[in-house]
Chains A and B, each alone.
Chain A
Amino acid sequence: MLTPRITQILESARSAGWVLEPPAKEILADRKLAVPNNVLTHSKETATRFLADCGGPVVLKAVSPLIVHKTEHQAVVTHVQDPDTLAAQMDRLLSLKGCDQVLVEEMVSGIEVLVGAKNDLQFGPVVVLGLGGTSVEIYNDTAIRLAPVTPSDVTSMVKALKAGPILQGFRGKPGVNMAALTRMLVDFSHLVMDLEPFFESIDLNPVMCDSDRCVVADARIILLPER
C-alpha cells in the first residue's frame, strides 16, 4: 500500500513524466531502502554546514525537471571536500537550466550495482539486477525476475550474472553484503508491485554496495504516459 504522501508525489510528477531524484529517494526511504544522508538546498551556508557535519566528501547534484540524464549535463560533482569548491560548484549547478535546488549528499563508495524495474506489458512489474554504472548498457549483463522476488530468486540472479563473482568477492577483493543486497531487492520488488499503476521503469543506478551495506546513490522513476 502506498501512503497518501507517496501517491501525492507520483500524481504531481505525472505531467513531467518522471520523478525527480529527491522525491524518488523519499519513496525508497519510506520502504526502508538505504539512501545517503543528504540536504536539499539552494543555500551555500546550509550546504557547507552539511559538509562539515558529515565529515567526509560530498556529492552535489543539480535538481532540475529539465535534466533527466545528469552526467550528460555535468550536473553531478563528486568528491567535494572543501568549502570553496563547494561554493563555486553550487553557483555553477544553480545556473543550469531549471535548477533551483541542489541535492547535497554524503559520498558513498563500494561496488556499483544496478537495481532496476520495468513494467512489462505481458508480465507486469519485473526487477533487474546487474553491475551498475554506465557500462550496464554495453555489457548487457543483467538478470530479470518477475516481481515480487524471494531471497532465493536474488541468489539465482547473482548466480546468473557473468559479474556474479565480483559481487561475491573475487581474487581477494571483498564482495558485497549479500544479506543487504537481498533485503534491498526483495523490498524494492514489493515496492514496484505497489507502484504498478504509475511507473514505466525505475533505475537505481548506481546502488553502492560494500561488505556492510547497500545504499542507493541515484534513483530515477519514469512514469507511464498519462492516459
Chain B
Amino acid sequence: MDLTCLFRPSSMAVIGVSTTHDHHPANVIYNKNHLRYPVQTFAVNPKGGRLNREPVYGSVAQIEAAVDLAVIAVRSRFVPDVVTQCIEKGIKGAVIISGGFAETGDKDLQKEVTDLAAQADFPFVGPNCLGIYSPDAVDTFFLPGERIIHPKKGNIGFVSQSGGVLVDQMVKFAGQGIGVSAAVSIGNKACIRETHMIDWFEQDLGTRVIAFYIEGFECREGREFIKRAHTCTKPIVVLKAGKTARGIAAASSHTASVAGDYRVFSEIMAQHCVAEADTEYELTSFCEALSCYPKGSSGHIGIVSLSGGHGVVAADACGHHGLDIPEITEQTAGAIHSRLSPEIQAIASLKNPLDLTGSCVDDDILTAVRHLSRDPHIDCILALLLPYSPGISADIGAKLSQVARNEGKPLIAYVPKEDKYKIIIEGFELNRIPVASSVEGAVLMAKALKRCHPC
C-alpha cells in the first residue's frame, strides 16, 4: 500500500468546510494547509460558495486538478457517498476525521466504508481521528496552529490510537527537543493500522524510531503486529494503555478497543525486543535514546560523575529500573588512575559509579569514559555532567561525543537543561549523543536500550 499520497500530498481536498462557521474542523484544516503548507488545497461543500475569497467546490468532481489526498470531515452518514466520489475522482487516499462509527456502536457503517475503500484499493486513515501531521508537508489536525505545539522535523514516527494523547505527546517531544518525521492519529483504524505504519516508517529514510500509543488490538492483530515488528530494522517503542480493569473499560468506550490481558501484551513485547515504555515520560526518553542507539545494549552500566551524590542517585535509579552496575576491572581502574590529573588522583573514587570530584577537568572525564568504554563488563555509559564545576569547559559535549564515537559504546549524558549550558547540550546532540535533563531521565534512556535488546 503506497501511502505517499497521505504523507506527502501535492494537492488535497478538504470536504465539509463551512461558509458560516469559522471554527468548523474542516475550516481549520483547510486554512492551515492552504496558508502554511506546500500543498495545493481545495475546499469542498455541496452548497458551494466562497471561503476567504477562494472558491468552494460543490463536489470533488468539480475540481479540475488532480487531487492526492481527501480530508473528510462530514457527518458520518454522508461518508460512504463522499468516499465513493473521491474514488471516482481518482483521489489516491483519505483521512476520515468524522466520528460516529464503531466507537459509538455503528460497526455496519464503518464496514460499509472499509469495504468500499478495499475494493478500490483506496487507503484511508481513521475514522474518528485527527489524521496526519507530516512536518513541512501536510497537517490534517483540526486544532488551530496557534494552539498546538509542533515538534520540529525529526526522526520519530509516532502513531496513536488517541488524537489527544498524540497532541500531548507532541508537546512533550517538543519540550525535550525531539522531532517527529510524522505523527499519525489512526483512530478506529478501519483501514490503516499499526502494521501498515511499521511498513511506511521502516522505508521512510527520515524515520529512526517508530513509536506507538496502543489501547488494544483486534482478534489476532497483536500477533500480526509482533510478526511485523520482529522483522523491522528500526527500533519500536510502545506505550500501552488499558492495563487495569478500569483502564480496560475506558479503552472500550474510547476507541472500541479490546485492551486484552496486559501481562500477555507486556511479556510478548519484551520477548520480541519491542521497547515498552511504562509512562509517557519514558516514551519520550526511549524515543530519544533509541534514535541514537537503535541496537540497544544489555544493561550493564558504567557511571561517571563529578559528584558522589549524583552517582548514588543514578545507582539507585538503575537498581529500580533493573539495570546492572558491574564492578570495573582492575585494568580499567588502573588505566584511568594513571592518566588522571595529579590534583584528583588521590581523591577520585574509581569504583563504579566513578566519582571524579568537582576538581576534575575535561581530560579526566574523557579519560574515564574512554577506558570505561573499553571495559568488557560495561556496555553503556552514563556521564553525569555538572557544568557548575570550574574545570569543565563549554567544549565538553563535543569532545566527549568524539570519544564515544571512537569507542563505539552507547554514551548517555545528563546536563541540566538551562540556556547557559546549551552549547554543551548541542555539543552532544549535534553528534547524536542523547542528553537527558535529569539523572532519572538518563537512566530511563539506558533502560530503553535494554528493553529493545534480546532478553
Tell me the A residues contacting B by CB distance below 8 Å. Answer: 118, 120-124, 126, 143-146, 152-153, 156, 159-160
**Contact between B226 and A146, CB atoms less than 8 A apart:** yes
- Alpha-carbon distance between A121 and B219 when the two chains are bound, in angstroms: 5
Interface centre among A120, A123, A143, A159, by most chain B C-beta atoms within 10 angstroms, is: A123
**Contact between B271 and A123, CB atoms less than 8 A apart:** no
User: Inter-chain contact count A-B, CB under 8 Å?
Assistant: 56
Identify 15 new A-B residue pairs, CB closer than 8 A, beyond the known A123-B268, A144-B268.
A118-B261, A120-B222, A120-B260, A122-B258, A123-B217, A123-B223, A124-B220, A126-B264, A126-B268, A144-B263, A146-B268, A146-B272, A156-B271, A160-B267, A160-B455
**Contact between B260 and A121, CB atoms less than 8 A apart:** yes
Residues of A within 8 A of B226 (CB): 123, 146
- Alpha-carbon distance between A153 and B226 when the two chains are bound, in angstroms: 15
**Contact between A123 and B267, CB atoms less than 8 A apart:** no
- Alpha-carbon distance between A160 and B272 when the two chains are bound, in angstroms: 15
**Contact between A122 and B455, CB atoms less than 8 A apart:** no
The answer to the question of B200 belonging to the interface, with a C-beta cut-off of 8 Å to chain A, is no
- Alpha-carbon distance between A126 and B264 when the two chains are bound, in angstroms: 8
| Chain B residue at minimal CB-CB distance from A118 | B264
**Contact between B455 and A123, CB atoms less than 8 A apart:** no
Residues of B within 8 A of A159 (CB): 455
Min Cβ gap B241→A in Å is 14
A-contact 0/1 string along B216-241, CB 8 Å cutoff: 11111111001000000000000000
14 contacts between A and B (CB under 8 A): A118-B261, A118-B264, A121-B258, A121-B260, A122-B216, A122-B221, A122-B258, A123-B217, A123-B265, A124-B220, A126-B268, A143-B267, A144-B263, A144-B267
Residues of B within 8 A of A146 (CB): 223, 226, 268, 271-272
Min Cβ gap B386→A in Å is 36
**Contact between B455 and A124, CB atoms less than 8 A apart:** no
A-contact 0/1 string along B254-292, CB 8 Å cutoff: 000010110111011001100000000000000000000
- Alpha-carbon distance between A159 and B217 when the two chains are bound, in angstroms: 28
A-contact 0/1 string along B70-84, CB 8 Å cutoff: 000000000000000
Min Cβ gap B255→A in Å is 14
- Alpha-carbon distance between A144 and B263 when the two chains are bound, in angstroms: 8
Min Cβ gap A200→B in Å is 13
The answer to the question of B164 belonging to the interface, with a C-beta cut-off of 8 Å to chain A, is no
Min Cβ gap A163→B in Å is 16
**Contact between A122 and B218, CB atoms less than 8 A apart:** yes
| Chain B residue at minimal CB-CB distance from A144 | B267
Min Cβ gap B274→A in Å is 11
Min Cβ gap B269→A in Å is 10
**Contact between A145 and B268, CB atoms less than 8 A apart:** yes
